[in-house]
Structure 1
Amino acid sequence: MEFVELIKTPKVDGVVLHYPFRASVEGTLCLTGHHLILSSRKTNSEELWLLHSNIDSIEKKFVGSIGYLTIKCKDFKIIHLDIPGMEECLNIASSIEVLSSLETITLTYPFFFRPMFDVMEDGWQAFLPENEFARLLGEEWRLSHVNKNFDVCPSYPQTVIVPKSIDDGTLEMSARFRHGGRFPVLSYHHSANGMVMMRCGQPLTGPNNKRCKDDERLVNAVLSIGKRGYIIDTRSPSVAQTAKAKGGGVETEAHYPQWRRIHRAIERYYVLQESLVKLIEGCTDTGGSMDKWISRLDSCNWLNHVKDVLTTACLAAQCIDREGASVLVHGSEGIDCTLQVTSIAQIILDPDCRTVRGFEALVEREWLQAGHPFADRCSKSAFSVSKPRFEGPVFLLFLDCVWQIYQQFPCSFEFNEQFLIYLFDHSYASQFGTFLCNNEADRKKVKLSTKTVSLWSYINRPEILQTFLNPLYEKNTSVIWPSVAPQSLLLWSGLYLKHMVNQSAYNQAWNEIVRIKQRDSDLQLRAVRLRKQLMELQKEAVQKNLIVDDE
């Protein structure tokens, strides 16, 4: 298929672009296979380059011979185009609708993108499991390649970390007993006391309480004699019972005697999608009263979802750090809520995860390699008019939780708010291949690592990385405990309202902080140099005195 076949009108002159907080721009609108481009011949004028994959929905309106397009994007941006000519407007709209919903992944922009920068580090090789977990491979844990061909679990990576006492045959039997083949694997090792956090899919006990001795052996292998562990189920007891009637279920306490099960309900992806739609509807309604805004914010339940994830993650962290107990986390499939909990718990416990590179490793390990279905969950965003199937802002909710902790501990994170927003933007639409596909198996099939560029290759370039650093950062090696009280949780205005509320004053203040911090750093560096010079002068003076004394 050629893209030219899908573009009915490739170019229209005299188009006017209306963009929030910026002057209108008149210029030429061009459609390419992957971008909508508007440029003006005027110097220093605004230029628009919009990926088709970032477009969530299009609204058309006509007044006389002028067509008005409202383009709503997955990153919550809304732009308006005034297009002369009804036919041209209809052609542009229909072309964009087709180009923004291409189903063949190899036709998307990351497969055509060629970087204009030198790739200093291959992001595809930056966070391999063999390297990330090398420090854990001691007496108790080992790397297993049981899933080498993705036959045991299609959503797991080829390499996983499991107890050394458990052989691959036991893993295969456990996989048959777990939803989607997602047998328990290591997620985190707490170096302070040796406790661990594991994750998996729900057990397939069914209404007849089936058991699997191999699974029991695997789960119990992480606990030493006399130790207890906690199974944190991200479903309510009633939902778990319903799942049991359909073939799923929970671990039977009689067969897992050292483990105590705790239910902490977190809503599923489709509920989150409905909540996000209501939230963004409220954010984009600029004509309502204060009472109406507060009512919409309350009724969308988004902050309640944030609270649920944070509360459950704090529970997991508390079990590990304060009670000295290992934790096993799962819900139904183990690809959504489970990953939110294990990820946030690591942000709380592990200071390395609060650095740029450590956070990248966390996203790679707990989301990309762990099989979160980005292709399904991020195919549509808050403005989509189609009925959601598998869409849901699960990863966005995780980023929101990280931002909440960042707000409470602003000096404990090496990265800034813009880094989180940047990851959100690229999880929905990107020129990089990092967030494409649903799992490692799918990425292998389309050869992502050789056909596309990794987002980490771009971010980790020094000049780019500098823009995402937090000038207030001071390394904090302690465990941090975020508050989940309603008064402590805020709406992330820098993301949800960035296209509705002018952020220029905030940006100016932040730039001033960066400038002051840089000035202080320069002064400190200058002081270090002066001290060094002083010490050298003192050394020379002492040597001269010694020479005089000898004479």
Structure 2
Amino acid sequence: MARNPSISSMIANINTNKKTSFKSYIDLDIKDMNNSEDKECVNTDEMWTTLDENGVTTDLSKIRRNSWLPLDSKDRRVMTRSMSSIGSLMNDTIDGVNYFYSHTRHRTGICGQLTLNTNGLMFLSYTSQEPNDNNSKTSTNSLNNFIPFNNEKNAIFQIDLLAIDDIKDMNDSNFISMTIFCWSLRSIRFQMKNCDQTRRIVDKLRRLTTHSIARKYSKLTKSLRDNYSYILKADWIQLEGHWSECYKLRLTQCNENYQLCDSLSQTFVVPKALTDQMLISLISTQTRGQRVPVVSYIYQKNGNLLLRSSAFDNYEDLNSLLKDMINPLRQMTIDNILPPLVVVEQCYDKLRETCFSSQFGGQSNGSLSKIGKWIYYVCSALKVVQNVVYIIKNESSVGLVEEFDREWNCVISSLVQIMIDPKRRTFAGFESLISKEWLYLPGLAFRKTGAININHILFTLFLDCVSQLIIQNPYAFEFSTFYLIYLFDCQYIQIVTPFLPNARKTSTKIGLEFEPKCGQLREGLSLNELMLIKNPVFRRHKPIDTKSNDLKLNAHISQMHFWSMLYLRWQSTPNLEHLSPFEIILLNELQSRNQL
């Protein structure tokens, strides 16, 4: 074998490759690094290739050991601009990092630079990934390889700290192989040179990701909180104006500035007969978690209410508390109907194991039972919703009672309103609903202690339930199931605000905490992505109560669909089986318009 070429020769080779529309790639047959026999048979030095303009592969094995090179000045300026644009400074950088694509079972990928900053990991490939490449156009436009909101083959992409769940690394004498398991059901693998700097960065990444999901606001939480506020009376009139016409209800501000408790919203709607003195007494001594009965929705056709409340210490049920204020009233104790949160979390963990196993090309034992258990919980939630909707429409008001009114009540109350109110099936109505039911009423909007983000497991189950409703009612929603996938991803992205020294200095002088307002949730999406999340066959109904506004729901387990477009989108072989018939029609239409 010939000697290794000089460093200048390698740089010339890389720069020459950049001028073409083809991209460098890796095609490795990955072996188990724990197996000594595999270590001997795998020779990574002979597997680096590049594709020239004639489609002929050129062996780069001779320059493999000299591939740990810094970026040239142009690429470093691009990296610096990208980092400064998100308000972070480069902290630690590793050159010559091999990044493997998850959808190819971590056998192919590209080489580039990995940077760790306060917001996460940023990867910059040495070779630009041209969107006009004939090869990339084929894979992008093929529905068989469609992955929504996929940044795997971008020249620059970032892994947010909020998205990282676990990190596993395997070491040998030459390389460190690091696999990152994300909350977004994606596994990411890097291979780096084994040196002190690499080990230091891996250790630092572990420390940064510890409890990061509990102490940093996600994009979903902050954007909805800032743009759909439920603090002032004017906010409620603007977003929930239907309650103001009911003489039985009023808006109370007894918890203004969270002076009574931080587990309840500052303002909320209650029965008019409940005075502030009664509410203060309930918050202080009578209810668990300092919660009180709150009105979530009023069905305008007959005036029946949907209430949510925590359990009581000194009252048997809602009827004994409210007496003749709301009559008739049916209480539903959610803790006795649906499984506890810990059981749902265990089921979700098993579902994630199945998703990760599929990305590595393996088969998990009992994968069907793990998936089936999750579908069963989705079906159970929809059955409760179906029952509540029937009672509100035909019999009486319903009070949802839960231990602390922060878990299942958010799911059931949101789904009931989607079933009843057509406004909740639009972009603005759906986002304001999440803000009210998941952030403000549970007291998460401005909480400074404990969890500050939405429970991501229950929220994923809620999104799954909404996807079932969209599949059964494709014309009733303004948004598509791809919009739900986008919301799922927004749980694991943090908002990075620019550095504004004058504003921070002013806020410090007056004793206030400076926090710039976050933009709309859909800001920053490309035109193609905006087309993807919008339902092209949506039929906007007139704002009157007609049977055409009602949703159809068959909550039998046989009618439930496994949402593989979300759970298995990062697996090794994406295909049309992951799409519902309606999604295939939507994508074919966008593809015919050259918008995908």
TM-score under structure 2 length normalisation: 0.67
CA distance in 1, matches of 2:496, 2:271: 35
Query: What is the aligned counterpart of 2:295 among 166, 183, 186?
Result: 186
Equivalent-residue separation in structure 2 for 1:319 and 1:43 (angstroms): 58
> Which whole-Å CA distance do the structure 2 matches of 1:460 and 1:370 have between them?
29
Find out whether 1:514 has 2:585 as its counterpart.
Answer: no
Q: Look up the match of 2:82.
A: none
Change (3 A) 1:328 1:219: farther
Alpha-carbon separation, structure 1, partners of 2:305 and 2:299 = 6
The residue number in structure 2 matching 1:494 is 565
Instruction: Give the CA RMSD over aligned residues.
Output: 3.7
1:409 offset after TM fit, Å? 1.2
8 Å Cα contact 1:66-1:84 kept in structure 2: yes
Distance (Å, rounded) in 2 between the aligned partners of 1:411 and 1:159: 35
Residue 502 of structure 1 deviates from its aligned partner by 3.9
Please name the residue that 2:352 is paired with. Answer: 280
Task: Specify every segment of 5 or more residues in structure 2 that has no aligned partner in the other structure, as ranges.
Answer: 1-88, 131-152, 498-510, 542-547
Alignment match of 2:370 (pick from 296, 317, 331):
296
% identity of equivalent residues? 22
Structure 1 distance, partners of 2:317, 2:476, is 43
- Equivalence for 2:482: 418
1:12 aligned partner, one-letter code: I
Partner of 1:530: none
How many residues of Structure 1 are paired with residues of Structure 2 in the alignment? 444
The separation in 1 between residues aligned to 2:339 and 2:452, in whole angstroms, is 17
Displacement of 1:391: 6.9
For 2:209 and 2:123, locate their aligned partners in 1 and report how far apart those are by CA, in whole Å. 17
* 2:381 pairs with 1:309: yes
* Deviation of 1:511 (Å): 2.6
Residue identity opposite 2:276 in structure 1: D
Q: 1:157 aligns with which of 262, 265, 284?
A: 265
In structure 1, how many angstroms separate the alpha carbons of the residues matched to 2:514 and 2:467? 30
Give the structure 1 partner of residue 121 of structure 2: 36
3-state SS of the aligned residue for 1:500? coil
Distance 1:186 1:448 in 2: 31
Is the counterpart of residue 204 in structure 1 residue 280 in structure 2?
Answer: no
1:418-466 CA deviation, whole Å, 9 max, x = no partner? 2111112222333279xxxxxxxxxxxx988933514537379999754
Cα separation, 1, equivalents of 2:565 and 2:290: 39
1:20 to 1:289, Cα distance in 2 relative to 1, 3 A: closer
> Which residue identity does 2:273 align to in structure 1?
S
Note if 1:341 corresponds to 2:412: yes
Aligned counterparts of 2:365 and 2:114: Cα–Cα separation in 1 = 41
- Which of 138, 143, 158 is the aligned partner of 2:251? 143
CA separation of 1:131/1:450 partners in 2, compared to 1, >3 Å: closer, same or farther? farther
Alignment of 1:458-477 (within 5 A): 458=523, 465-475=530-540, 477=548
C-alpha distance in structure 2 between counterparts of 1:302 and 1:102, whole Å: 25
Contact 1:378 1:427 in 2 (8 A): no
Contact 1:229/1:327, CA 8 A, preserved across alignment = yes
Q: 1:44 to 1:392 in 2, by over 3 A?
A: closer
Residues 202, 31 of structure 1: CA spacing in aligned structure 2 closer, same or farther, 3 A cutoff? same
Q: What SS does the corresponding residue of 2:310 show, helix, strand or coil?
A: coil
Matched letter for residue 340 of structure 2:
R
Change (3 A) 1:203 1:461: farther
**AA paired with 1:29?**
L
Determine the C-alpha separation between the residues in 2 that align with 1:449 and 1:352: 34
- Cα distance in 1 between the residues matched to 2:211 and 2:495: 15
Per-residue CA deviation, residues 249-281 of structure 1 (Å, 9 max, x unaligned), is xxxxxxxxxxxxxxxx21222221111111111
**Matched residue type, 1:232:** M
Residue ranges of structure 1 left out of the alignment (5+ in a row): 1-6, 116-120, 237-264, 380-389, 434-445, 520-551
Aligned mates of 1:449, 1:142 — CA distance in 2 = 33
2:103 corresponds to which residue?
A: 21
Give 1:495 shift.
Answer: 1.1
* TM-score of the pair, normalised by structure 1: 0.72
Local SS of the residue matching 1:473: coil
Residues 8 and 406 of structure 1: is their aligned pair in 2 closer, same or farther, counting only changes over 3 Å?
A: closer
In structure 2, what is the Cα distance between the partners aligned to 1:102 and 1:412? 39
1:62-119 superposed Cα distances (whole Å, 9 cap, x missing partner): 2331110001111111111010124333222111112223669887797xx9x9xxxx
Q: Which among 182, 185, 210 is matched to residue 101 of structure 1? A: 210
| Cα 1:85–1:58 shift into 2, 3 Å | same
2:25 counterpart residue number: none
Q: 1:248-267, aligned counterparts within 5 Å?
A: 265-267=337-339
CA distance in 1, matches of 2:100, 2:329: 57
Question: Residue type of the partner of 2:199?
Answer: L
Pair 1:319–1:503, CA change in 2 (3 A): same
Residue 142 of structure 1 aligns to which amino acid in structure 2?
Answer: R
**AA matched with 1:94:** D
